[in-house]
Amino acid sequence: MSDAAASDRVVTLGCRLNLAESEAIRAMVAGAEQQTVVVNSCAVTAEAVRQSRRAVRRLRRDHPAARLVVTGCAATIDPTAFAAMAEVDAVVTNPAKLTPASWQTDGPGRIHPTSATASGRHTRAFVPVQTGCDHACTFCIIPQGRGASVSTPIADVLRTVERHLALGVGEVVLTGVDVTGWGADLPDAPRLGALVAAILLEFPGLDRLRLSSLDGVEIDEALFELVTAEPRVMPHIHLSLQSGDDMVLKRMRRRHSRAQAVALVERLKARRPEIAIGADLIAGFPTESAQMHANNVALVRDCMIVHGHVFPYSPRPGTPAARMPQVDPPLVRQRAADVRAAVADERAGWLQSLLGKPRKVLAERDGTGHAPDFAPYRLPPGAAPGAVLTITPTRISEGLLA
């Protein structure tokens, strides 16, 4: 999640929530009198912070006369360090990043979406429904950057979705820091299933609704029913698993066990076999033994994980895990490679199983697209971004079905 996505004005690192917020920032800086360029930083790992700093230096080289502003989680957690960089003109912390005044522009108070085919950048719209987190995982610094969980009311989410659909997007993705925590701070504490149901009811023409990373223990029954029985909800579930070992999960202060994770996947696949499972996994967590690592690797097979975000653990100052006995960094890197290899093996078999099967693929830029289960496809020449094509793949080339 720490790869940078660049534009002429904004460089985005990290999660889909950052991507969604960058679209709003892009609209705001477009109205600034002085050319303004922005790094929307990430702090999920120490490497993400280093990448954020490298992005600052790269953007300054590319835009020597522009006003350079840093925002995002890394800049919120340690604003002094980023403000001290010679390349940086200003720091905007997360609480102020969606306020037009922060960007010295007289733009509208409510930023209209600029994503989707109308901008030529995306064919799907990332819609933030929640930010912040009320949990206290021992490895995670993000609550310090995002604060407590804050949910967007249903009416506001519906208005945002409506504007995106008016621009012609082919797919809407609900995103946030802790998406399944949505609603806990709203009156009557609705659950995420209620929000998904409201979107589907309000917009019968929305054919593709995708969910960002979910915490399995927070999936309510209404959401489970929609994910497994509603064809407009994409069969692609990305779970925040983090580890496949019970002792590591306990030391991470996660709220699920290994058996619960496996049982959830089995239940999902039993109801909707085509669901593709993704997961966040951390390798080399402090105190992780060889057997604990083996359990982590085995989880990839047991949960049939074909979309993996694998992070080598890196200590974040200020978190409890940073004070635990650490695994040697070279061993952490090797263990991350082991987990990635297990995901690659699972993914290769999955892609092979899709050959010869017609799928509806949403065309994106650069000649690629994704099916409902997020399998990647190479498009035929001339495919227009935003179009939905039926493709029957006959081969796999460079990781893409074609």
**Model confidence pLDDT, tens digit, residues 47-70:** 899 999 999 999 999 999 999 999
Query: Of 103, 135, 163, which residue sits at a domain end?
Result: 103
Domain-located, residue 118: no
| Domain range for 391 | 359-401
Domain-located, residue 28: yes
d(CA 22, CA 31): 15
Report DSSP letters for 105-157, one per residue: ----SSPPP--STTTTS-SEEEEE-EE------TT--HHHHH-S-EEPPHHHH
Domain-located, residue 116: no
Query: Of 47, 74, 103, which residue sits at a domain end?
Result: 103
Check whether residue 322 and residue 367 sit in a common domain.
no
How do residues 230-251 score in pLDDT, each as one tens digit?
A: 999 999 999 999 999 999 999 9
Check whether residue 334 and residue 378 sit in a common domain.
no
Contact yes or no for 240/213 (Cβ under 8 A): yes
What is the CATH number for 78? 3.40.50.12160
Check whether residue 348 and residue 363 sit in a common domain.
no
C-alpha dihedral over 249, 254, 258, 264, to 10 degrees?
-160
Nearest CA-CA partner of 234 in 157, 172, 168:
172
d(CA 238, CA 373): 11
Nearest CA-CA partner of 354 in 381, 379, 369, 373:
373
Nearest CA-CA partner of 255 in 267, 235, 240, 234:
240
How do residues 279-337 score in pLDDT, each as one tens digit?
A: 999 999 999 999 999 999 999 999 999 999 999 999 998 899 999 999 999 999 999 99
Domain-located, residue 113: no
What is the CATH number for 187? 3.80.30.20
Check whether residue 349 and residue 364 sit in a common domain.
no
Domain-located, residue 238: yes
Check whether residue 290 and residue 366 sit in a common domain.
no
Domain-located, residue 179: yes
What pTM, to 2 d.p., does this model score? 0.86
Check whether residue 168 and residue 202 sit in a common domain.
yes
Domain-located, residue 390: yes
Side-chain-facing half-sphere of 65: CA atoms under 13 Å: 2
The answer to whether residue 6 scores a pLDDT higher than 50 is no
Check whether residue 153 and residue 224 sit in a common domain.
yes
Check whether residue 373 and residue 312 sit in a common domain.
no
How do residues 187-246 score in pLDDT, each as one tens digit?
A: 999 999 999 999 999 999 999 999 999 999 999 999 999 999 999 999 999 999 999 999
Query: Of 103, 133, 149, which residue sits at a domain end?
Result: 103
Check whether residue 42 and residue 183 sit in a common domain.
no
Check whether residue 15 and residue 136 sit in a common domain.
no
Check whether residue 70 and residue 210 sit in a common domain.
no
Check whether residue 313 and residue 202 sit in a common domain.
yes
Q: How many domains is the chain partitioned into structurally?
A: 3
How do residues 370-383 score in pLDDT, each as one tens digit?
A: 999 999 999 999 99
Domain-located, residue 115: no
